[in-house]
A and B are shown apart, each in its own frame.
Chain A
Amino acid sequence: MTGSPTATGNQEALAIRMEGIDKTFGAVRANRGATLEVRPGEIHALVGENGAGKSTLMKVLGGLQRPDAGTLQVNGRDVTGWSTSDAIAAGIGVVHQHFMLVPTLTVAENIVLGMEPTSGGRFDYARAVADVEKLSRETGLAVSADRKVSELSVGEAQRVEILKTLYRGAKILVLDEPTAVLSPPEVRELWTVLRKLRDAGGTIVLITHRLDEVIEISETITVMRAGQTVERLRTADTTPAQIARAMVGREVALTARDEAEALGLKMQGEDVALGFHPSDDMTSAIRVTDLVVLGANKTRAVDGITFSIRPGEILGIAGVEGNGQTELIEALAGLRPIASGLMRVNGHDTTLENVSERRDGGVSHIPEDRHRRGLILDYSIADNLVLGLQNEFAKRGIMDGDRISENAQKRIQDFDIRPPSADLPAGNLSGGNQQKVIVAREMGRAFSILLASQPTRGVDVGAIEFIHSQIRAARVAGKAILLVSAELNEVLALSDRVAVMYRGKLTKVIPASEASEETLGEYMTGTKKEDAT
Chain B
Amino acid sequence: MSSRLREQLEEALFPPIVALLVALICGDLLIMSYGQSPATVYRLLLEGTWGNAYGFGQVLYKATTLTFTGLAVSLGIRAGLFNVGAESQLAAGGFVAALLGLGLSPHLPGIIAIILCIIAAAFGGAIVGAIPGWLRVKFGAHEVIVTIMLNFIVLALLNYIVAARLHMPETLHTPEIHNGAIPRLDSFIPAFHGSAANLTIVLALITAGLAWFYMFRTKRGFELRAVGLQPDAAEYGGVSVGGVWMRAMILSGAIAGLGGVNYVLGYKQYYEEGFAGGSGFLGIAVALVGRNHPVGVVLAALFFATLSQGGLAIHAFVPKQMVEVLQGVVILAVAMSVPEVRAILRRSRKPVAA
Contact = CB atoms under 8 A, between A and B. Distances in A.
A430 B219 contact: no
A373 B352 contact: no
B228 to A, nearest CB: 10
A375 B232 CA distance: 9
A367 B236 contact: yes
Interface string B218-252: 11111101100110111111101000000000000
A372 B233 contact: yes
A504 interface: no
Contacts of A399: 217-219, 221-222
B354 A430 contact: yes
Interface in B193-226: 217-223, 225-226
Contact of B238 (A27, A374, A388, A421): A388
B344 interface: no
A379 B219 contact: no
Interface in A402-434: 418-419, 421, 423-424, 428-433
- Interface centre among A365, A397, A418, by most chain B C-beta atoms within 10 angstroms, is A397
B236 to A, nearest CB: 4
Given A26-B346, A391-B219, A355 B235 contact: yes
Contact of B219 (A365, A372, A390, A424): A390
Contacts of B222: 383, 390, 394, 399
A379 B236 contact: no
B165 interface: no
Interface string A363-387: 0010100001111111100010001
B1 interface: yes
B140 interface: no
A355 B238 contact: yes
Contacts of B346: 26
B353 interface: yes
Contacts of A133: none
B354 A388 contact: no
B233 A378 contact: no
B230 to A, nearest CB: 5
Contacts of B235: 335, 355, 373
Nearest to A334: B238
Contact of A373 (B218, B229, B236, B353): B236
Contacts of A355: 235-238
A423 B233 contact: no
A432 B346 CA distance: 21
B236 A365 contact: yes
B352 A24 contact: no
B237 A388 contact: yes
A390 B217 CA distance: 12
Contact of A398 (B219, B229, B232, B352): B219
Contact of A423 (B1, B226, B354): B1
Given A376-B229, A423-B4, A27 B236 contact: no
A373 B232 contact: yes
Contacts of A398: 217-219
A252 to B, nearest CB: 23
Contacts of A460: 354
Contacts of A428: 351-352
Contacts of B217: 398-399
B351 A27 contact: yes
Nearest to A393: B219
A388 B236 contact: yes
Given A374-B236, A430-B352, 20 more contacts: A28-B351, A354-B238, A367-B236, A373-B232, A373-B233, A373-B236, A376-B226, A383-B222, A388-B237, A390-B222, A390-B238, A398-B217, A398-B219, A399-B218, A399-B221, A399-B222, A418-B354, A421-B1, A424-B4, A429-B354
Interface of B: 1, 4, 217-223, 225-226, 229-230, 232-238, 240, 346, 351-354
6 contacts: A376-B229, A388-B237, A390-B223, A397-B218, A428-B351, A429-B354
